[in-house]
Amino acid sequence: MKRKLEASELIFKIISYTLLTVFALGCLYPFVYAVSASISGRHAVDYGEVVLFPKDVQFDAFRRMFNDNMFWNSYSNTLFLTVYGTVWALGVAILGAYALSKKRLLFRKFFNFYLVFTMWFSAGIVPQYLNYLATKKVFNGIGIMDDKWLVVIAMGMAAMNIILLRNAFENVPSEIEEAAIVDGATEFGVLSKVFIPMSKSTIATVALFFAISRWNGYFWARQMISNAHEHPLQVFIRLTLEDYTNSETMAGWNEVYASDSVIYALIVCSIVPILIIYPFIQKYFAKGTNAGGVKE
């Protein structure tokens, strides 16, 4: 009896480790290949001699990227959108969630439904597009010519994030709030001195969600930002790739790097910053999925 039990367990363990290793390496491989291909020599990349490790190492593809003003421009635009977009969306969401977490708020049910309905039904791409166009006209009318502000203000709000914050605020014990009120705190004081410090980790998670969606935002930024100098990184990557697909060449005939290497270098450049901060944000991300969505 004992022997058989150990055998079945052992077999399952071996299978688990094997398949996990295969899957994990499979997840990793495209990144490793992208790095290798971006720093390998022209002939090696063009003729498919790079499989895992780089061959005939060169850094000219990266140098080309770093010498491209549009690349740095798009990076700074993405930073702009991420920082201001997150601050704006988080600010609006915290204030709204605080008000919604109060039982004494009149028409509370209606306001909750007002948010939740947008998660069920969206008007779709075309109406959204017409709406953003109209907004853009209004913004231009009052003197905001930089379309990045349109992206910051009008896009990226998510009802789900407000609801996550609201749930966190509802879990703050009311005794602490009452004590603060007795001490003479105003509504805003209660929010900033009691509620925000007590829900720090949820706020960090929600801020992360906003920041990620801003960093990754592509479609509407491309539709709405007309000046190429204002394009964020994602749009720049895609336009470069489309350029390459259409012309089939990226590198001049006398360069030491292959056309593919330029694209891979660009991909690597856009992933590296995320990899650097990844260890710090991972725990908030994991927390987000557990809290995300499911509410008792």
Using CB under 8 A, which residues numbered 79 to 118 contact other proteins?
A: 91-93, 95-96, 98-100, 102, 104-106, 111, 114-116, 118
Please write down the long-range contacts of 55-59, taking CB distance under 8 Å and 24 or more positions apart.
Answer: 58/256, 58/257
Lookup result for tokens 């969606």: 213
Distance (Å, whole) CA 47 – CA 29: 19
Q: Least CB distance from residue 194 to other proteins, whole Å?
A: 15
Site string for other proteins, 111-150 (x = CB under 8 A): x--xxx-xxxxxxxxxxxxxxx--x---------------
User: Does 11 engage in binding with other proteins (CB under 8 A)?
Assistant: yes
User: Does 4 engage in binding with other proteins (CB under 8 A)?
Assistant: yes
Q: Least CB distance from residue 227 to other proteins, whole Å?
A: 19
Q: Least CB distance from residue 241 to other proteins, whole Å?
A: 5
- Pair of tokens at residue 229: 């100098």
Q: Least CB distance from residue 261 to other proteins, whole Å?
A: 10
Contact 78, 293 (CB under 8 A): no
Interface positions, 16-75, toward other proteins (CB under 8 A): 16-17, 19-21, 23-28, 30-31, 33-34, 37, 45-48, 50-51
Instruction: Please tell me what DSSP assigns to residue 4.
Output: H
Distance (Å, whole) CA 82 – CA 270: 14
Binding residue (CB under 8 A) for other proteins from 90, 152, 224, 258? 258
Q: Least CB distance from residue 115 to other proteins, whole Å?
A: 7
Distance (Å, whole) CA 89 – CA 147: 17
Interface positions, 234-253, toward other proteins (CB under 8 A): 234-235, 237-238, 241, 245, 248-249
Distance (Å, whole) CA 250 – CA 154: 36
**Chain centre distance of CA 295:** 24
Interface positions, 151-210, toward other proteins (CB under 8 A): 154-155, 157, 159, 162-163, 186-188, 191
Q: Least CB distance from residue 59 to other proteins, whole Å?
A: 19
CA distances (Å), origin 281, targets 85, 206, 234: 18, 12, 21
